[in-house]
């Protein structure tokens, strides 16, 4: 019987590393986008649609479009490669980008709806009491919707942790380099190692259940 | 203290506001009118929470908004206090934290908060969270929070409507006491005529995004400009006029002579005060008494005219109380009648928009 830690330990560490980085990105971008989308800003509809795309669009197709965009000859990847000598695809930043795009709507939407709902009047009160947008964000919005922020982060990280489609396309599924936990399960099945695939699936399920349990506790604490 | 002067144009799908107003430099101005007429929108525009498409807002020498000069001060720079219908207290802050929110940090802050807590009988509640307070206490905290930074103008959006009726009176008194101690020009949006009668010095009637009438409270109540305003101000008796013969108004309910028929073709309604009417006048209108409401010394009759128009009569102390179901005649003195344009029952009256004050 294969010891537990022999089943792609690097994949687990890589997934945790990606999750840690996207957690920080979600915290900043999720709150900023949720706050921005709750207000009548120019091109709000377009921004909202872009953020929401991963909820309805097939991940593998999103991954393909991103590969075309960020590849060595893509509209963004080309200049990055030619001017900075930097290649995004098949690298750690590509995994982070894939996880970030996949989980972002699940972070932004709860924050946006909380601001549009319970926090809207409080924001206006804060404005009339002399506070600007930034002060209101830190003194009112974040404290009032902190449970929604936490819930969004848990959902987003959970989604990122199990991401396959975009990661496969953008990260390349390179063993020991861009093989995340979810891709490791896929690879173990392809190799016929069902024992390891089962263990990794249980591990991934355990992480998901932990996040789900945590989310439930947050909801009850409301 | 300075008057607040605004001339605004604002549109959103299905609603247009075109309104000019100059509120007095002191006292409380009540804005009253049907729901959806633009009262709250006007407050939000004045506060800077919504942006007008055109116009200007000026408080004394300070320009808050001027579309032509591209001036649009943020709400916080207008130095105003805004009290929302629901108290909208910050749930993560204590009572003291809520009151302190708009105050500048410094040594005086705590002293000022303590003073406001004492002023509004909230001294024992400083550390409490808003969710542990009653509706009346929450509204007191919101009032203290709005007034503590000493705003130059106070805007109140139905501040007592979310409070139980038995608490409203004590809140009104608390508010009046605060206004005596710290006079602040105030705009009060309300649907409650008791708020208007007990608090307001001035009244503006806002209908369909325009200011239909504005003036001193007693004058507006006594002389509504049309039937719709009369209905909003609680005039109970509005009789539709079919035609005029000189100074005599005719309708399905009978006829009455007015002191002087107003000029122009628009006097289609006569408004009749419920006081000073004479029962048993042989030349009066036929009336059937449908109900007698006797509350202590106050006796009000509900009756029906020949065309089934309802009419309300307040009896004086000398007139005997008629029985429900009895028929009599009702004498209406000239002084009790005001001819008005508009329709007696239809809310869609004609109006000026905007009104010049």
pLDDT digits (tens, 9 = 90+) for A171-202: 887 777 788 888 888 888 988 889 888 988 99
* Residue B49 Cα, gap to closest chain A Cα (Å): 7
Residue A50 lies in a domain: yes
Averaged pLDDT, A81-108: 89
Residue B233 has pLDDT above 90, yes or no: yes
Residue B246 confidence class, pLDDT cut points 50, 70, 90: confident
Q: Which of A121, A124, A125, A143 to mutate to test the interface with B (most CBs of B within 10 A)?
A: A125
Residue at A1 is within a domain: no
Q: Which of B356, B26, B30 is nearest to B203 (CA)?
A: B30
Residue pairs between chains A and B whose CB atoms are closer than 8 Å: 52
What pLDDT is attached to residue A177?
78
Residue B181, classified by CB atoms within 10 Å of its CB into exposed (0-12), middle (13-18) or buried (19+), is exposed
Residue pLDDT, tens place only, B281-324: 888 999 999 999 988 778 899 999 999 999 999 988 888 889 99
How far apart CA B354 and CA B16 sit, in angstroms, is 11
Chain B within 8 Å of A214 (Cβ-Cβ)? no
The reply to whether A163 falls in a domain is yes
Check pLDDT > 70 for residue A4: no
Residue A117 falls in which region: left (phi positive, over 0), alpha (psi -120 to 50) or beta: alpha
Domain assignment present for A19: yes
Put simply, the answer to whether A125 touches B74 (Cβ < 8 Å) is no
Q: Please state the pTM of the whole predicted model.
A: 0.81
Residue B29's pLDDT is what?
A: 96
Q: Say if CB B192 and CB B35 are below 8 A apart.
A: no
Report yes or no on A2 lying in a domain.
no
**Which B residues in the span 147-176 are in contact with A, Cβ-Cβ below 8 Å?**
149
What b/e string do you get for B112-123 counting C-beta neighbours within 10 Å, with b at 16 or more? bbeebbebbebe
Q: Do B88 and A121 touch (CB under 8 A)?
A: yes
Tell me, what's the pLDDT at B349?
Answer: 36
Burial A124-157 (b: 16+ CB within 10 A, else e): bbbbbbbbeeeebbebbbbebbeebbbbbbbbbb
Q: Does B49 touch chain A (CB under 8 A)?
A: yes
Contacts of B91 in chain A (CB under 8 A): 144
Mean pLDDT of chain B: 89
pLDDT of residue A64: 92
A116 reaches B (C-beta below 8 A): no
DSSP string, B102-141: TSPSSHHHHHHHHHHHHHTT-GGGTT--GGGS-HHHHHHH
In which domain, by residue range, is A176 found?
A: 7-219
For residue A20, the domain's CATH number is 1.10.3720.10
CB of B75 within 8 Å of a chain A CB? The answer is: yes
| Per-residue pLDDT reduced to its tens digit, B91-109 | 999 999 999 999 998 879 9
Closest B-chain CA to A144: B92
Q: How many domains does chain A have?
A: 1
> Could A122 and B86 be called an inter-chain contact, meaning their C-beta atoms sit closer than 8 Å?
no
B154 to chain A: closest CA residue: A128
Report how far residue B114's alpha carbon sits from residue B16's, in angstroms, rounded to the nearest whole number: 44
B76 and A143: CB-CB below 8 Å? no
Q: What is d(CA B225, CA B211) in angstroms, rounded to the nearest whole number?
A: 11
- Does residue B127 have a pLDDT over 90? yes
Paired tokens of A203 = 């591990």
How confident is residue A5, by pLDDT bands cut at 50, 70 and 90? low
Mean pLDDT of A59-82: 88
**A41 inside domain:** yes
Q: What is the pLDDT of residue A3?
A: 58
Give the nearest partner residue to A130 out of B88, B90, B149, using CB atoms. Answer: B149
- Reply yes or no on whether the pLDDT at B275 is more than 60: yes
Stronger pLDDT, A177 or B39, i.e. the higher one: B39
């Amino acid at each position: 019987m294969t010891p537990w830690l022999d089943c792609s330990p690097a994949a687990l560490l890589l997934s945790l590393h990606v999750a840690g980085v996207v957690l920080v990105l979600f915290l900043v971008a999720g709150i900023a986008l949720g706050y921005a989308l709750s207000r009548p800003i120019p091109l709000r509809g377009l921004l909202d649609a872009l953020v929401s795309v991963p909820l309805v669009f097939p991940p593998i197709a999103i991954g393909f479009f991103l590969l075309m965009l960020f590849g060595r000859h893509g509209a963004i990847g080309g200049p990055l490669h030619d001017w900075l000598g930097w290649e995004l695809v098949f690298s750690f930043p590509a995994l982070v980008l894939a996880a970030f795009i996949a989980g972002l709507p699940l972070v932004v939407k709860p924050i946006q709806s909380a601001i549009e709902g319970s926090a809207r009047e409080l924001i206006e009160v804060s404005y009339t009491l002399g506070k600007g947008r930034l002060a209101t964000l830190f003194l009112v919005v974040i404290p009032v919707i902190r449970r929604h922020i936490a819930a969004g982060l848990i959902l987003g990280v959970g989604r990122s942790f199990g991401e396959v489609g975009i990661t496969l396309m953008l990260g390349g599924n390179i063993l020991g380099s861009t093989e995340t936990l979810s891709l490791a399960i896929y690879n173990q099945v392809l190799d016929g190692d069902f024992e390891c695939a089962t263990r990794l699936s249980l591990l991934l399920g355990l992480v998901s259940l932990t996040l789900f349990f945590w989310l439930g506790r947050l909801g009850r604490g409301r | 203290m300075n008057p607040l002067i605004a001339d605004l144009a604002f549109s959103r799908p299905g609603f247009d506001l075109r309104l000019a107003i100059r509120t007095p430099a002191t006292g409380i101005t009540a804005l009253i009118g049907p729901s959806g007429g633009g009262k709250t929108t006007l407050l939000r525009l004045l506060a800077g929470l919504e942006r007008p498409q055109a116009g200007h807002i000026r408080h004394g020498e300070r320009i808050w908004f001027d579309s032509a000069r591209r001036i649009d001060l943020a709400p916080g720079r207008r130095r105003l206090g805004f009290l929302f219908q629901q108290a909208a207290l910050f749930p993560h802050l204590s009572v003291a934290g809520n009151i302190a929110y708009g105050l500048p940090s410094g040594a005086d802050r705590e002293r000022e908060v303590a003073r406001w807590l004492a002023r509004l009988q909230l001294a024992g509640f400083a550390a409490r969270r808003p969710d542990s307070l009653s509706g009346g206490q929450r509204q007191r905290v919101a009032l203290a929070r709005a007034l503590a930074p000493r705003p130059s103008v106070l805007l109140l959006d139905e501040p007592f409507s979310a409070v139980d009726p038995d608490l409203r009176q004590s809140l009104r008194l608390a508010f009046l006491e605060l206004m005596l101690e710290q006079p602040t020009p105030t705009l009060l949006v309300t649907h409650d005529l008791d708020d208007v009668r007990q608090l307001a010095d001035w009244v503006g009637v806002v209908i369909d995004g325009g200011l239909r009438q504005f003036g001193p409270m007693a004058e507006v109540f006594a002389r509504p400009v049309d039937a719709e305003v009369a209905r909003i101000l609680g005039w109970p008796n509005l009789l539709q006029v079919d035609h005029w013969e000189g100074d005599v108004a005719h309708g399905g309910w009978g006829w009455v002579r007015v002191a002087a028929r107003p000029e122009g073709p628009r006097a289609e309604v006569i408004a009749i005060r419920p006081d000073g009417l004479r029962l048993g006048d042989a030349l009066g209108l036929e009336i059937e008494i449908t109900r007698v409401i006797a509350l202590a010394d106050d006796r009000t009759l509900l009756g029906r005219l020949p065309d089934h128009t309802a009419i309300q009569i307040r009896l004086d102390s000398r007139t005997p109380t008629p029985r429900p179901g009895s028929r009599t005649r009702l004498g209406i003195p000239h002084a009790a009648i005001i001819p008005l344009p508009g329709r007696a029952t239809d809310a869609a009256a004609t109006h000026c928009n905007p009104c010049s004050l």
